[in-house]
Structure 1
Amino acid sequence: MTLSLAPIRKISAASAAEVCGRVALSADACAYLTPSLSPQSFLTLLDRGGHFSDAVRFLAFALPVREGVWWACMTGLAIPGATSADPDPAYSAAQDWVYETSDERRFLCLRAAESVQSATPGAYAALAAFWSGGSMAPEGLPDVVPDPVLAPTGVAASILLAVAAGDPAGAEGFFRDAIRRGVDIGNGGDGRQPGGARSFSNRVPN
């Protein structure tokens, strides 16, 4: 399915260059970039050119963090082999944070990621939620604010690891599915099915 060139509603950046100023992409991906190119047009070019890892990184930095974390969860849980636990405690904590973006939930994400004890797709989804804002320091200690690049980096790492954990023969399909789920979420869908119509806003309170 070809991506639409229509703007993605939840991407606030006016141009692709604005997003690319925050994320490191390959030289091949950057070759598509022009000053006036929209985020959706750039994403479409990356998708058509088969630059899927770049497309995932770009979209992770273009979407709001909450939507990005949900995207990581919906993508990873749809790829066979991306999680060895059922239910995966890190994915579960990340989804709970999306439903309730409180500091308590954020620190539960950190504990869930640490409980996995390895760099899994679910752990990075949970860490992306933890890195979403607020302080990373325990209560009572001076605030330590996360670098703004950490959360979207965690989202991208979660999705890239999930694809890598799946059958290599299906990698292109997993990537295309992931990108379409991300676009669906960016347009207000819930991302459970790529290009689906169910509402992210209705299922997950704003």
Structure 2
Amino acid sequence: MYKKIPFQDCKTLFGHFELSEDAMALVNEGNAPKDVIDVLYDKALFLDLTHFYCHALPMREVLWWTVNALEIREDVWTPLELQLLQDCKRWVKEPQEGQRRAIEQKLKRIKNTSAIFWLSQAVVWNGSGSLAPIDAPVVFPKAFLYSKAAAGAINTAAVVPEWKSYTSYYKSVFAMALDLANGGPGMIKR
């Protein structure tokens, strides 16, 4: 059992997202999280493993992991994307509603095909504040919506813009996730 993934089995987790058919042929809800992580990693089912970690880890750990994963590719982000990445990093360290709202406004200026867009969207959808305009009644996001956006950010960063190092990228980000799951800081040395 992991410090930050305290489940005996995956029944609760699999109720929040779906794995691919390939992954479901190998694991089931009765498996321990460690077994699922090991199988998905060994079979290189990286999209599924990203979704698994994004739903299994606590919200702040997921967003911290996503920030660190996207920093690996900081050489490909535009100046606005880099600014948003740093804004998201600051929010994870010190969550403030005004900062979350500022991120929400900035993300409207980048394409939804960007990994940074999806990281920013995950911060906005984290559940700590309303999705409605400030002067409207409060509307909270659906549970685990941030997890889907975070997984989208990491999986997008693995392949867009295209590069040949996506396998080593995934191995690095999964090492970070495993460190987080064990209660560590979730960072890798570069």
TM-score normalized with structure 1 length: 0.83
**Deviation string, structure 1 residues 27-46 (Cα, Å, up to 9, x no partner):** 11012223431112101110
Bigger shift: residues 76-85 or 25-34: 76-85
Partner of 1:189: 184
Equivalent of 1:151, from 146, 151, 154?
146
Q: What count of residue pairs does the alignment treat as equivalent?
A: 189
Correspondence 1:56 to 2:47: no
Secondary structure at 1:98's aligned position in 2? helix
Partner of 1:3: none
Partner of 1:43: 37
Partner of 1:84: 78
**2-side partners of 1:90 and 1:123: how far apart?**
8
1:80: Cα distance to partner? Answer: 5.8
Q: CA RMSD in A?
A: 2.1
Equivalent of 1:177, from 163, 172, 177?
172
**2-side partners of 1:55 and 1:166: how far apart?**
21
Q: Which runs of 5+ in 1 are unaligned?
A: 1-6, 197-206
1:144: Cα distance to partner? Answer: 1.0
Bigger shift: residues 163-172 or 97-106: 163-172
1:72: Cα distance to partner? Answer: 0.8
* Mapping of residues 105-124 of structure 1, within 5 Å: 105-124=99-118
TM-score normalized with structure 2 length: 0.89
Partner of 1:94: 88
Q: Which runs of 5+ in 2 are unaligned?
A: none
Runs of 4 or more, structure 1, over 3 Å off, are none
**2-side partners of 1:160 and 1:83: how far apart?**
15
**1-side partners of 2:7 and 2:156: how far apart?**
26
**1-side partners of 2:94 and 2:145: how far apart?**
20
Equivalent of 1:165, from 160, 165, 186?
160
1:82: Cα distance to partner? Answer: 4.6
For the Cα contact (< 8 Å) 1:82–1:165, is it kept in 2? no
Correspondence 1:8 to 2:2: yes
**1-side partners of 2:34 and 2:71: how far apart?**
25
